[in-house]
Amino acid sequence: MVARDEQLAMLVQPDRVHRSVYADPVIFELEMERIFGRAWLILGHESQVAAAGDYFTTRMGREPVIVVRHEDGSVRVLVNRCAHRGATVCAEGRGRAERFVCPYHGWSYDRGGRLGAVPFESGYQRGKLSELGLKQVPRVALYRGFIFASLSSSGPGLEEFLGPARASFDDLVDRAPGGELEVTGGVFKHAYNGNWKFMLENHLDGAHPAWVHASSVAVARGAPEPGAPGKEHHFDIAVRQMRQNGAPDAVWDAIGVWTTPRGHGYLGDYHSDDRLVAGMGSPVFDEYRKKLVERCGQKEADRILRVTLWNTIIYPNCSFMSQFRQLRIIHPLAVDRSVVYTYSFRMKQAPPGMFRDTVAFANVVNGTASWVLTDDLEVYERLQRGLSSGAVDWVYIGRGHGGDVDEADGTRRGNTGTSEVFIRSQMRAWLDYMGADA
Ligand code: FES
Ligand SMILES: [Fe+2]
C-alpha cells in the first residue's frame, strides 16, 4: 500500500498530470473510495424535499441514495439498498412516500431507514431484524438551502470545506428577492463517454470558448441584434452569452480566476449584468431589480447586483452559475463514463420572465440540443480517446504556472484569466484526498 501511495504522488506534478489519472480503471475505483467516499458532495436543494415524506434519488459516487424529508423536519440521506438481499428499494426519481417498500420480498422502511414490516417475520431469529435497516449516510448538512452529505463520519465541517466558495452560494441565494429559490422544471440529465474531471476542468477554462464554441459564436454574431426595441426574443440572453464567448483574447486574459485549497474555483469579473441584461434596458430585469430593492433596500440591492462571480466549481461534483440560476452535478459512472444532472432554479418572488431567461439559457447553452454543450461533450470524448493511448504519458497543465498569486483570503489566483491554476488546484485536492490517511 505504501508503494501504491508513493506512486500516486508521482502522478500529479506541479505542471503535469499522468494520463492514468483520467484513464486507469484501478485509479477510478480508488477515487470512488477516497474522494467520493470522503468529500462533502452536493446532492440538491431543500425545495426538492419541501414537505415530510418528499424524496428524490441520486448518487454519491458508487452509492445510490435516497434524500428524504423526515417528519422531524430534518433531511436524511439513506443508502438505497435493501438490508435483506440488496435490491434498491426506491426506483423513482422523486416523489412523496410514507415508507419505502422493497420490491423483492416486501421489507419496508420508514423515512429514517428503520425496518418496519417484514413478511414471514417468524422465520427469522428473534432480535435479528432489529439490527437491520437502510444505512444512513453519516453526515448531512445544508448551506443556504443546498443539501450536502459525506459518506465519511469524520473530516472538516461543511462551511470549512466550502471556504471562500461560500460566496458563490450567497450570491445565488441573495439574488432572489426574499432569498427564496426552488428547483423548477425537473432534472435534466445527460451522459458522456469521458472522465468526470473533464467537466470540472472545462467550466473555468477561458482558453477554450474561442475554439470549441467558435460555431455558436458565429451563429450568435449573425443573429438579429438582441433586445432591439419591440423585437425582444427569449433567446436574447443566450445570444449575448454566446457573443461574449467570442470576446477577444485580451478580455479573457483580464478576467479573474480564483481557486481554494480544496479544489474549488470560480471566475469573476467576466459577465456583469450590464453586459447581459441590465444595461440593455431589459424590461424584465428592470422589474426584477425593483422587486429586489423593495425586499432589501437600494443599498443592499446594489451590493448584490455588483457581485460578478461567474462559473463556480465545488470540487469534486458541482458546477453552477448564479446569474443564470443553473446548477450541475456530475456523477462518475466509470473511468470513461459520466452523467450530469442539471437543475434550473426559480426565484420565487421574481417576475416570471426571469425564470423564462433561466430556461432559455438552459436550452441554448446547457441542454443536449444546445449549440454550446454539444461541442464540449465532443471534446470530452476526444480527450478520453487521446488519453487512452499509451504512447504519451503526460498531460500538460502549465499555463500560468509560476505566476499564481496567493491572496489574503486564502484563495490562489491565476496571473491571467486563462491560467490553468484551477486544474493545478483541483489536482492538489485530488492528491490530498487520495492520500491513504486523508
Ligand atoms: S431484497 Fe429486499 S426484501 Fe428481499
Ligand atoms: Fe465550453
- Asked if residue 405 and residue 362 are part of one domain, the reply reads yes
User: CA torsion sign, 153 to 159 to 165 to 170?
Assistant: positive
- Asked if residue 229 and residue 362 are part of one domain, the reply reads yes
pLDDT given for residue 1 in this prediction: 52
Asked if residue 291 is part of any domain, the answer here is yes
Q: Which helix (H) or strand (E) holds 8?
A: helix 2-11
Contact predicate 313/265, CB 8 Å:
yes
pLDDT given for residue 354 in this prediction: 92
pLDDT given for residue 274 in this prediction: 56
Structural domain range at position 354: 163-434
**Span 313-324, pLDDT tens digits:** 999 999 999 988
pLDDT given for residue 347 in this prediction: 97
pLDDT greater at residue 277 or residue 60:
60
Asked if residue 156 is part of any domain, the answer here is no
Of the candidates 229, 227, 241, 353, the one whose C-alpha atom is nearest the C-alpha of residue 287 is 353
Question: For 99-103, 179-183, 192-196, 220-224, which range has the lowest pLDDT when averaged over its residues?
Answer: 220-224
Beta bridge partners of 314: 318
Q: What is the Cα–Cα distance from 165 to 411, expressed in whole angstroms?
A: 9
pLDDT given for residue 180 in this prediction: 95
pLDDT given for residue 270 in this prediction: 65
- Asked if residue 231 and residue 106 are part of one domain, the reply reads no
Distances (CA, A) of 18 to 23, 128, 134, 319, 332: 9, 49, 39, 24, 19
- Asked if residue 331 and residue 211 are part of one domain, the reply reads yes
What percent of the chain shows pLDDT beyond 90?
76
Q: How far is the CA of 342 from the centre of ligand 2 (A)?
A: 15
Q: What is the Cα–Cα distance from 421 to 399, expressed in whole angstroms?
A: 8
- Mean pLDDT (the chain) is 92
Of the candidates 394, 401, 392, the one whose C-alpha atom is nearest the C-alpha of residue 423 is 401
Closest listed ligand to the CA of 100: 1
Q: How far is the CA of 366 from the centre of ligand 2 (A)?
A: 9
- Local structure of 117: helix, strand or coil: coil
* Cis-peptide, bond into residue 316, ω within 30° of zero: yes
End-of-domain residue from the set 98, 114, 143 = 143
Asked if residue 241 is part of any domain, the answer here is yes
Cell of 125: 431469529
End-of-domain residue from the set 74, 108, 143 = 143
Domain with residue 59: its CATH number is: 2.102.10.10
- Asked if residue 169 and residue 132 are part of one domain, the reply reads no
Question: CA 197, 249, 428 angle in degrees (round to 5)?
Answer: 30
pTM: 0.95
**Span 67-82, pLDDT tens digits:** 999 999 999 999 999 9
Atom of ligand 1 nearest to the CA of 107: 3
| pLDDT category of residue 239 using cuts at 50, 70 and 90 | confident
Is 103 close to ligand 1, i.e. is its CB under 6 Å away? no
Distances (CA, A) of 284 to 173, 237, 353: 19, 12, 6
Residue 18 has pLDDT above 90, yes or no: yes
Contact predicate 79/64, CB 8 Å:
yes
- Asked if residue 326 and residue 416 are part of one domain, the reply reads yes
| pLDDT category of residue 415 using cuts at 50, 70 and 90 | very high
Asked if residue 274 is part of any domain, the answer here is yes
Q: Indicate the top mutation candidate among 81, 82, 99, 121 to test ligand 1's pocket, ranked by most ligand atoms within 8 A of CB.
A: 82
**Residues contacting 216, CB < 8 A, separation 6+:** 242, 245, 371, 372, 375
pLDDT given for residue 438 in this prediction: 61
- Asked if residue 225 and residue 307 are part of one domain, the reply reads yes
**Span 355-382, pLDDT tens digits:** 988 988 888 888 777 888 999 999 999 9
pLDDT greater at residue 282 or residue 390:
390
Distances (CA, A) of 87 to 64, 121, 375: 11, 18, 38
- Asked if residue 197 and residue 122 are part of one domain, the reply reads no
Q: How far is the CA of 89 from the centre of ligand 1 (A)?
A: 8
pLDDT given for residue 276 in this prediction: 57
In this prediction, residues 279-307 reach a mean pLDDT of 88
pLDDT given for residue 14 in this prediction: 94
- Asked if residue 399 and residue 251 are part of one domain, the reply reads yes
Residue 384 has pLDDT above 80, yes or no: yes
Atom of ligand 1 nearest to the CA of 83: 2
Residue 280 has pLDDT above 70, yes or no: no
Asked if residue 152 is part of any domain, the answer here is no
pLDDT given for residue 248 in this prediction: 86
End-of-domain residue from the set 89, 114, 143 = 143
- Asked if residue 181 and residue 129 are part of one domain, the reply reads no
389 CB-contact burial (10 Å; exposed 0-12 / middle 13-18 / buried 19+): exposed
pLDDT given for residue 307 in this prediction: 87
Atom of ligand 1 nearest to the CA of 102: 2
Q: Indicate the top mutation candidate among 80, 84, 101, 121 to test ligand 1's pocket, ranked by most ligand atoms within 8 A of CB.
A: 84
pLDDT given for residue 271 in this prediction: 62
For ligand 1, atom 4, which residue shows the shortest CA distance? 105
**Span 79-120, pLDDT tens digits:** 999 999 999 999 999 999 999 999 999 999 999 999 999 999
Cell of 149: 452529505
Is 395 close to ligand 1, i.e. is its CB under 6 Å away? no
**Span 220-230, pLDDT tens digits:** 888 887 777 66
Asked if residue 27 is part of any domain, the answer here is no
pLDDT given for residue 36 in this prediction: 98
Q: What is the Cα–Cα distance from 313 to 325, expressed in whole angstroms?
A: 14
**Span 259-276, pLDDT tens digits:** 999 999 999 876 665 555
Helix 2-11 with 25-34: angle, nearest 10 deg: 100
Q: How many structural domains comprise the chain?
A: 2
Q: What is the Cα–Cα distance from 92 to 66, expressed in whole angstroms?
A: 10
- Asked if residue 169 and residue 268 are part of one domain, the reply reads yes
Asked if residue 17 is part of any domain, the answer here is no
Asked if residue 20 is part of any domain, the answer here is no
- Asked if residue 182 and residue 112 are part of one domain, the reply reads no
Domain with residue 371: its CATH number is: 3.90.380.10
Residue with cell 429586489: 292
